[in-house]
């Protein structure tokens, strides 16, 4: 497995290079001139030209890209156009906020989604199965920004139990994490149910029951263990969606995390910040998928890596 991990890590290098090219070109295709936004509506053509020169935007794209990429290899992600702050210093205080929000969201959604899926599979065709799948379908259908606004209206405005936004204390994470994790919980519930139903019909389950093993052991040790690979795969893929969802949820709840910073930076055409954030999100997504692949081999010894 060690060789496989090394190969996967090395394969991430050219992939990140391709992503960096796409990100660099994509942000520059967005209409709007950073120099014009910094100078304001009253800035003259000469002042705009001076700002572009100061930011290095008057150079051809290839030298700009080479300079930016060279800075990355030296640990320099550049400086924000809007306040001339180092991008690293800008991201550092916001990273823990987004990571904590993501961890909270994925933790409760995975636990509850798996429980709903297992209960629904064991009680297939009964009331609990119907209730669980109704919850799953409803949750998948609701956009996280709409759910966030409704949660805010009910629990913050009407009941006054939780804050409407911001992070004055730990309660500020509750509503955003629910809005972010609800869709993932429902997807995991459906995947867990389908995988468990499939495995519960296998011959080895009938053999385990014929041996007189307790039903709880048959379900959790035999059926659930073999369903865990599907659950891990979907969870890893959904974490990427969760990161994307943080952009919307952090904006709705006024949370000063990386997602909201990305939205603000796109609005100001702050190229350096947007490029760094998208690269970070891409790397995080690749790393999560690598961890998921490693977990396959730990949970199921039959998985072999070439």
CA 54 to chain centre: 35
- Taking alpha carbons only, the member of 295, 280, 291, 191 closest to residue 244 is 280
* Last residue within a domain, chosen from 82, 112, 133: 82
Range of the domain at 13: 2-82
pLDDT value of position 135: 85
The answer to which of 224-228, 265-269, 279-283, 294-298 has the lowest mean pLDDT is: 294-298
Q: Where are the beta strands (DSSP E) in the chain?
A: none
**Banded pLDDT at 154 (limits 50, 70, 90):** very high
Q: Are 79 and 86 in contact (CB under 8 A)?
A: yes
Instruction: State pLDDT tens for residues 88-100.
Output: 899 999 999 988 9
Quick one: tokens of 141?
């259908």
Residue 281 lies in a domain: no
Are residues 65 and 144 located together in one domain of the fold? Answer: no
Are residues 57 and 141 located together in one domain of the fold? Answer: no
- Taking alpha carbons only, the member of 159, 54, 177 closest to residue 110 is 177
pLDDT value of position 254: 87
Residue 279 lies in a domain: no
Instruction: State pLDDT tens for residues 241-272.
Output: 777 678 888 888 988 888 889 888 888 888 88
Residue 47 lies in a domain: yes
Are residues 239 and 123 located together in one domain of the fold? Answer: yes
pLDDT tops 60 at residue 131: yes
Instruction: State the CATH number of the domain containing residue 218.
Output: 1.10.3720.10
Helix (H, G, I), strand (E, B) or coil at 86: strand
CA–CA distances in Å: residue 22 to residues 17, 259, 268, 275, 306: 9, 19, 20, 10, 30
The pTM of the full predicted model, rounded to 2 decimals, is 0.82
Structure letter (DSSP) for residue 33? -
**Banded pLDDT at 108 (limits 50, 70, 90):** very high
Are residues 102 and 203 located together in one domain of the fold? Answer: yes
pLDDT value of position 301: 59
Mean pLDDT of 115-137: 89
**What is d(CA 131, CA 126) in angstroms, rounded to the nearest whole number?**
9
- Our count of domains for the chain comes to 2
The answer to which of 22-36, 126-140, 237-251 has the lowest mean pLDDT is: 237-251
Q: Where are the beta strands (DSSP E) in 134-291?
A: none
Quick one: tokens of 182?
């609800």
């Amino acid at each position: 497995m060690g060789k496989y991990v090394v190969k996967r890590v090395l394969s991430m290098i050219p992939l990140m290079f391709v992503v960096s090219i796409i990100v660099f070109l994509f942000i520059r295709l967005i209409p709007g001139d950073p120099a014009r936004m910094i100078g304001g509506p009253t800035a003259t053509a000469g002042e705009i030209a001076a700002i572009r020169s100061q930011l290095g935007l008057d150079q051809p794209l290839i030298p700009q890209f080479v300079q930016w990429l060279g800075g990355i290899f030296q640990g320099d992600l550049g400086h924000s156009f809007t306040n001339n702050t180092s991008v690293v210093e800008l991201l550092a205080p916001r990273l823990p906020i987004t990571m904590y929000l993501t961890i909270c969201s994925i933790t409760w959604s995975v636990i509850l989604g798996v429980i709903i899926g297992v209960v629904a599979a064991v009680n297939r065709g009964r009331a609990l199965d119907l209730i669980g799948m109704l919850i799953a379908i409803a949750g998948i259908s609701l956009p996280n920004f709409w759910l966030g606004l409704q949660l805010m209206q009910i629990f913050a405005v009407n009941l006054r139990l939780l804050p409407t936004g911001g992070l004055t204390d730990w309660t500020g994470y509750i509503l955003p994490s629910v809005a972010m994790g609800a869709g993932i919980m429902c997807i995991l519930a459906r995947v867990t149910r389908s995988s468990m139903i499939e495995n519960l019909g296998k011959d080895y389950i009938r053999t385990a029951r014929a041996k007189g093993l307790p039903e709880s052991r048959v379900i959790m040790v035999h059926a659930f263990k073999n369903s865990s690979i599907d659950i891990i795969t979907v969870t890893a893929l959904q974490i990427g969606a969760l990161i994307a969802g943080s952009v919307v949820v952090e904006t709705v709840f006024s949370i000063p995390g990386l997602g909201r910073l990305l939205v603000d930076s796109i609005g100001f055409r702050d190229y350096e910040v947007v490029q760094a954030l998208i690269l970070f999100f891409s790397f995080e997504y690749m790393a999560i998928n690598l961890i998921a692949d490693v977990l396959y081999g730990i949970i199921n010894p039959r998985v072999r890596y070439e």
